[in-house]
Amino acid sequence: MFNLDYSWLADPVYQGWLIRGTLTTIELAFASSAIAFVIGLFGALALTLRIAWLDAVIELFVEVFRNTPPLLQMLFFYFTLSTVGLRMTDPATGVSVPLLSAFACALISLSLFGGALCIEAFRSGLDSLPRAVTEAARSLGYSRWQRFRRIEAPIASRICLPALTNIMTNQFKTTSQASVITVPELMYYAGQIYNDTFRTAEVMILVLFIYVSLVSLLSWGMVRIERMLAFPGYGKGA
């Protein structure tokens, strides 16, 4: 019934494209997730300090980057920032070129988008800490930083691990939008291949399979981490 033709996969050019595209996708997803994680951690920590102006800044950041489509952010960084003067002079040719490459724009946009979601995830983790725990730590003489490092962060990060897994898988899939600003990731090359070969269904099925494999691997790894970090009374540590 399905008359699938994968003969184009024998072409070394297409093989190279698919491999390079997959690697770029992985690179972008992991780098942006790592930065998002750090942004989330420090943002949530800053929120616990209860400094009014800092809270306002963080809230604004979260609202702006969580509530705008990553695609729009990428286009903004890619086309607008270079127009308003974020440029440098290429030392080799002396021509004024945009400072941020396509990959950098995609990385920044995905990191900020993911970071905004991570702040919320960590905050929910911190909020769900039993008050008794922080009060016990305080009565034992822990300083603010010690309390965060030794009590709050370890418990909160375990609580919000499932939410982080969600954010990371989302991050992985959102990388596909970077093809619009010419980041040569998986979807970028897939489009060129089916335009050349007219084997749209075959290319789509293969790309689907690659995404499913990568994201499954990621969530499997996250579940392992969840198990490893589990301790009695919370989540998977029954």
Partner 1 sequence: MKTSILTIASSLLLALGLSAASADTLADVKSKGTLTIGVKNDYPPYGFLNDKGEIVGFEVDLGKYVAKELLGPDGKVELVPVVAANRIEFLNSGRIDIILATLGVTAERGKVIDFSEYYVSAPGPSILAPKAATFAKWEDLKGQTLCGIQGSYFNKHLTEAFGINLTNFKTQPEAYRALKDNRCVGFAFDDMTLRKKTEEADWADYKIAIDPYEYIPQAAGIRKDDVAFRDAVNKAILKAEAEGKLIEWETTYGMPHAKYIAERAEAAKAKLKP
Q: Which residues bind partner 1 (CB under 8 A)?
A: 3, 5, 13, 79, 82-83, 90, 95-98, 102, 179-180, 182, 188, 191-192, 195-198
Q: Judged by CB, which is closer to partner 1: 11, or 127?
A: 11
Question: Within the chain, how many helices (H) and strands (E) appear?
Answer: 11, 2
134 contacts 151 by C-beta, under 8 angstroms: yes
Least distance (Å) from partner 1 to the CB of residue 130?
51
Site of tokens 């034992």: 140
Q: Judged by CB, which is closer to partner 1: 48, or 82?
A: 82
Find how far residue 175's CA is from the centre of its chain: 8
Q: Judged by CB, which is closer to partner 1: 7, or 67?
A: 7
User: What is the C-alpha separation between 181 and 77, in angstroms, rounded?
Assistant: 10
Least distance (Å) from partner 1 to the CB of residue 182?
5
**Helix (H/G/I), strand (E/B), else coil: 87:** strand
User: What is the C-alpha separation between 171 and 121, in angstroms, rounded?
Assistant: 14
Least distance (Å) from partner 1 to the CB of residue 194?
8
Q: Judged by CB, which is closer to partner 1: 88, or 133?
A: 88
What are the tokens at 38? 């750090």
Least distance (Å) from partner 1 to the CB of residue 35?
24
